[in-house]
Each structure stands twice: as structure tokens, then as C-alpha cells.
Amino acid sequence: MKLVIGSDHGGYTMKQEIIEHFKSRGFEIVDVGTDSPASCDYPVYAKKLTDILKAGEADLGILICGTGIGMSMAANKVDGIRAALCHDVFSAEATRSHNNANVLCMGARVIGAGLACMIADKFVDTPFSNDERHIRRISMYSKL
Ligand code: RB5
């Protein structure tokens, strides 16, 4: 599986830690930046990441900002993107299984890197259930 990951300045340090974590698990990673803790605009990185996902150049995405909220709002503006803000392992599993989320958003000012890696592991390791009722519900809100 190939992952794409991005952050703003608020998520930069956590992004680097998550990249190292997944590299040690043998994953291929596309890092869309940011490349330093200098202040920047999170929608720029949400766009870079969703462009790669939509082009089929990665399977799942991870976006990190201070809260995870701005990144999730920005990513969810993009057709075909289902971004989920998760700060616990249960939600990460549920959003893959029920919502077929393709982007995980987290806030580096909300949780630490240890928990973030556990949440990201659960997100990446959980398949979509393919349950008919979940497919129907995703299809319903995708047309809104
Ligand atoms: C940047 O200060 C902060 O606003 C951003 O990282 C994020 O939390 C926005 O939702």
C-alpha cells in the first residue's frame, strides 16, 4: 500500500514522525510537505494531497494540522474525498469500515505522536466493510 501524507506548520513535526513510523513498517510514502515548521496555509497541502489521491497515485492519505479541523474541512471540499478527523482508535476503525474514509486527519496540538501512530495504523489496516447499507449511505451523501 502507498500512503500520501501532508501537513501545515502545526503538523510538521508529527508528520515527520508518522512518515518514519510507516517507513519502518515498509510502506511507500509520498510526502507533499510542508517541509519546515515555517508558517504556511493548510489548504495548499490539502489540495496537493487530494490531487495525488484522485490521480490514483496513492491508496490512502493522512493530513495533519494543529487541530485537524481545517485540513478535514478543506479535503472534504474535493469530490471523491472522504476525510475523517479522528483522535481515537475506535473512530479510525469505524470510519474505514463504515464510511470508507480515504483521508485521515489529526491535530498535532490535540494528541501526541504515539497515539497518532496507533490511530494511523488502525486506519490503514482496516478495510472497508463493503456492506450494502454503508455503500448506500455513502452514495446518498456523495450526491449532496
Ligand atoms: C494554524 O495555526 C492552525 O490554524 C492550523 O494548523 C489548523 O489547526 C487549522 O484548522
Among the options 9, 40, 65, 105, which is catalytic?
65
The SS3 of residue 59 is coil
Alpha-carbon distance of 65 to 81, in angstroms, equals 17
Distance 14 CA to ligand 1 centre (A): 14
pLDDT at 57: 98
* CB of 70 sitting under 6 A from ligand 1: yes
Confidence of residue 11 (pLDDT cuts 50, 70, 90): very high
Backbone angles phi, psi at 73, to 5 degrees: -65, -45
* CB of 45 sitting under 6 A from ligand 1: no
What are the tens digits of pLDDT across the range 24-76?
A: 999 999 999 999 999 999 999 999 999 999 999 999 999 999 999 999 999 99
Query: Active site includes 21?
Result: no
The beta strand positions in the chain, using DSSP E, are 2-7, 28-31, 60-65, 83-85, 103-107
